[in-house]
Amino acid sequence: MTWIGLLIVGLTAVAVQGEVPIVTRAEWNAKPPNGTIDSMETPLPRAVIAHTAGGACADDVTCSQHMRNLQNFQMSKQKFSDIGYHYLIGGNGKVYEGRSPSQRGAFAGPNNDGSLGIAFIGNFEKRAPNKEALDAARELLEQAVKQAQLVEGYKLLGHRQVSATMSPGEALYALIQQWPNWSEEM
């Protein structure tokens, strides 16, 4: 078989699997956790959408740098054992691995337990994330159900519903209220 034939077979296999590609911690050069992290039993009943409220990113290099900066900030200033979210979504339409979904997050105080934390990189108070980022988040939610990270009838919430914050920003909050599994209540 030629290299083109192998490429077609490989691409077909990826398309059939339908998995959202995840930029791993190793790929964005994460530091290891600096302490213990409580575990959670999956599948989880809630997905919480947040934003990082800082600068946005549109390419692989910048998004990976934002991941390292956020992890450094959360570990050094907020005294978390690791980055607080389970997944983050870049403006490049890629999903970045945070902490494991079987580890309790650090983004919603007492509501971390039972919540899958997904944050969009950037500030989405006045403008929504781009289509690529929104599509990646919706596909990630579907994949999380298929991989038993979320229960099938999970509740989708905005960060402000579980914590005293403006996150995920007004523009993004308005959008996620139209998504499947949206819930007014925890």
Is 48 inside a domain boundary?
A: yes
Alpha carbon distance 147, 169 (integer Å): 28
Is 134 inside a domain boundary?
A: yes
Is the pLDDT assigned to residue 112 strictly greater than 70?
Answer: yes
Domain that holds residue 42: 37-177
Domain count of the fold of the chain: 1
Predicted confidence (pLDDT) per residue in 113-146, tens digit = 999 999 999 999 999 999 999 999 999 999 999 9
Is 92 inside a domain boundary?
A: yes
Is 183 inside a domain boundary?
A: no
Measure Cα distances from 110 to 21, 35, 53, 105, 166 in Å: 30, 19, 21, 10, 17
Is 5 inside a domain boundary?
A: no
Is 184 inside a domain boundary?
A: no
CATH code for the domain of 112 = 3.40.80.10
What is the pTM (predicted TM-score) of this model? 0.90
Predicted confidence (pLDDT) per residue in 7-29, tens digit = 343 433 344 346 899 999 999 99
Is 2 inside a domain boundary?
A: no
Is 30 inside a domain boundary?
A: no
